[in-house]
Amino acid sequence: MWIVYFIACHDPKTEPEAIAQTDSSAVDSSIEPELDTSRFHALELSVTRAGVPQNKARITQPGTNRHWQTDENGHVAVLLDKHVHGRVALAAMVQDAHIGGLEYYDAGDLPLEASIDLRPMPEEDHDFYTFQDPGSPTNRETTAQCAHCHVSLNEQWTNSVHKSSASNPKLYDLYLGTSAHGEAQCETQGGTWESGPSGNGHTEEQCYIGSGVQPTLNGCVGSDCTETVEPAYCASCHSPGIDGDLHNRDLLDAQDRAFDNGVHCDVCHKVNEVDLNSELPGVSGKLKLLRPDDSGGPLDLQNALMFGPSPDVLNPKMGSVQRDHYQEAKFCSGCHELNQPVFVTEANIDLNRWPSGLLPIHSTYSELQYGQLTEEVSCQSCHMPPAAYTKNGADLGNIVEDDNPDIGSGWARLPGQVRKHSWVGPRSSDVDMLALAAGLFIEQSIDNGVLTATVTTKNIGPGHAIPTGEPLRSLILRVEARCNGIAQPVVGGDLIPDYGGYISMKTAGSDWTDWPQAEIGHRLRILQEGPDYIEYAGFGPFGDGQFTVEQKGLPKLELVGEVEIIDINNGAVITDTEIPNGSHIYLVESEPDWTRTGDPTGDLVGLSGFGFARVTQGVDGARFVPHFEAIDIVSDNRLMAQQAFTTTHEFSISCDSPSLSAQLLYRYAPPHLADERGWIETERVMVEVSQ
């Protein structure tokens, strides 16, 4: 076999381009370029797996971007760069074997022929395996902890939401039906104060109020909940590192390491395969883990096993096997894509709306697939940005200087090849992803004392919808006109829907004077809903033509009026003017104050603006319920990638030159749920514009 090397013309100080290989039958050997033996060394390599020649084995030289592929006989001619920083080495990989290789201590004494026999990877998942301790920046004394070598990556992960995925107090509030209220506040909120499990194996007194996975699916509260909830799904993604059987685990099984570390190194890097056809999320279904036999202890290098994106990791402590899915969006789909059945036993899903019998609860992966960017731009592209100053994943060559990189330290990688393990997102403090996600564009005109504003809200960043993920999230657009600092009255246009926030709500036909939660100074805001509906391009059946405009569930809202409560007589409210008729009436706080720092307060339903959300519905018609209570998705007008939606807003103005402002809020949870559970810091300003 003849090998012809094609080398591009470029600065001789730079590394040659990837080498093309051609069969000699079509090439005249006389045109083969002269080999620069001072820098390159030709070597004939054979690759086998347990003695069997391997076709299309991928061969790389660590520390360079050079790669080759074996022929059907397991042979390949390679051209090693002797000027690599560190020892000269070769790495070989196939999909069903550990990465194997050779390392040469003297670049001046390289052989002409060599062979690599790859060790088959295990085929059986061992549920007696104990997940490895990821360690922390202050606890990384031994090689039994990932942080011992992977210092930078561990520091990034330590501050990520993946780290706290199993210990987030809000998660347990929704799982147990508890809240953040203290004992005194619990009673005033209508909750019960009693002892029960609180996570990490602990039991404590806490406030039980509202729904939860256990009360809803198991029919129990507090200490009465002694059996595993099925099907809960929660632990499969929030605490996937529970030792033992990975299926149908109770979130309360997450203790110690599984509780403290949430989604950690040894879970993600034990994923052998991603099964997109599985209906179950996380390690119960989509993410197929392969855990080795660790009975020999941490020094049993023969049974070491880690999966990762790189084809050239030769450190025996890792037992590395290469997998492409670490660089693909489908890996993230394991937990960020969930179609679930209706869990509430007394209700059935509407098969006319949802023929599969499943509700689209999390659809981030699907949104990316069918968006303008497609999954060719993977989740990792944005949420794991390049670690520009990190030489490789192991800090033996980063923090600890190493003048001679080898299989222990790893070789330096090209800039951008090492990705941060911080998973930046809407809750990140170091990168404001929300500010990069959306844009607001406003125009205005004035005619006969009425200011008409058009506001276009656009998804300008993500390849998925905004908001995405947890369906309790929403975007609230607020639009306001002022004259001399005074808010001008709304006379028409689009309004903020019910999930903008209110204290209490009633529909037509009920007693509109009876408000037990009312206080003097509160207001009653009256809206008329429908009969017309708003057309929009949403996700799935809400955007592909399957649903009619009525089935897409976004009725037009009209502000009928607003009155102030000036007195309360024997439980009946007395208002400053007569309460007008409408389809819905909302008890709200006093007029919200919108400061120029962009911090809105108060209840926003019925104010000039709009909302973007996937709205769930429960058995009693309640809207924006947690997904374990959902029996339907009634609307989904979230903004897909590069999608825009324009709203109109009208104000009666008292000056010639009013100011106009628009603000987009990101809400992690609807106000009624946040108030019920005593949650704080549940919203952020994404963008604000004015003119």
Residue-wise pLDDT tens digits, 203-234: 999 999 999 998 888 888 877 876 666 666 89
Q: Whole-angstrom Cα distance, residue 233 to residue 568?
A: 47
| pLDDT of 396 above 80 | no
What are the residues whose beta carbons fall under 8 Å from the beta carbon of 36, sequence distance 6 or more?
none
Q: What is the DSSP letter of 570?
A: T
The reported pLDDT for the residue numbered 34 is 63
Determine which helix (DSSP H) or strand (DSSP E) holds 21, and give its type and residue range.
none
What are the residues whose beta carbons fall under 8 Å from the beta carbon of 267, sequence distance 6 or more?
131, 240, 241, 283, 289
Any idea how long the chain is? 691
Q: Which of 161, 127, 338 is nearest to 232 (CA)?
A: 338
Q: What is the DSSP letter of 457?
A: E
Helix (H, G, I), strand (E, B) or coil at 300: coil
Helix (H, G, I), strand (E, B) or coil at 170: helix
Least confident window among 173-182, 311-320, 398-407, 578-587: 398-407
| pLDDT of 173 above 70 | yes
* pLDDT-based confidence at residue 360 (cuts at 50, 70, 90): very high
Percent of the chain past pLDDT 70, that is, above it, reads 91
| Tokens linked to 127 | 């549920």
The reported pLDDT for the residue numbered 30 is 36
The reported pLDDT for the residue numbered 594 is 57
| pLDDT of 243 above 50 | yes
Contact by Cβ (8 Å): 587, 457 = no
Q: Whole-angstrom Cα distance, residue 415 to residue 391?
A: 8
Least confident window among 127-141, 396-410, 440-454, 575-589: 396-410
302 Cα distance to chain centroid: 35
Angle value at C-alpha 497, between 496 and 498, nearest 5 degrees: 130
Contact by Cβ (8 Å): 18, 78 = no
Q: How many other β-carbons are positioned within 10 Å of the β-carbon of residue 410?
A: 27
Q: Which of 610, 586, 605 is nearest to 475 (CA)?
A: 610
Q: What would the pLDDT profile of 93-123 be if each residue is shown by its tens digit?
A: 999 999 999 999 998 899 999 999 999 999 9
| pLDDT of 9 above 70 | no
Kind of pairing between the strands at 67-69 and 58-60: antiparallel
Q: What would the pLDDT profile of 521-573 be if each residue is shown by its tens digit?
A: 999 999 999 899 999 999 999 999 999 999 999 999 999 999 999 999 988 99
Span 309-314, average pLDDT:
96
**Average predicted confidence (pLDDT) for the chain:** 90
Percent of the chain past pLDDT 90, that is, above it, reads 79
* pLDDT-based confidence at residue 402 (cuts at 50, 70, 90): low
| Tokens linked to 173 | 């509030």
Least confident window among 203-207, 459-463, 682-686: 682-686
Provide the whole-model pTM: 0.91
Q: What would the pLDDT profile of 16-66 be if each residue is shown by its tens digit?
A: 333 333 333 233 333 345 668 889 999 999 999 999 999 999 999 999 999
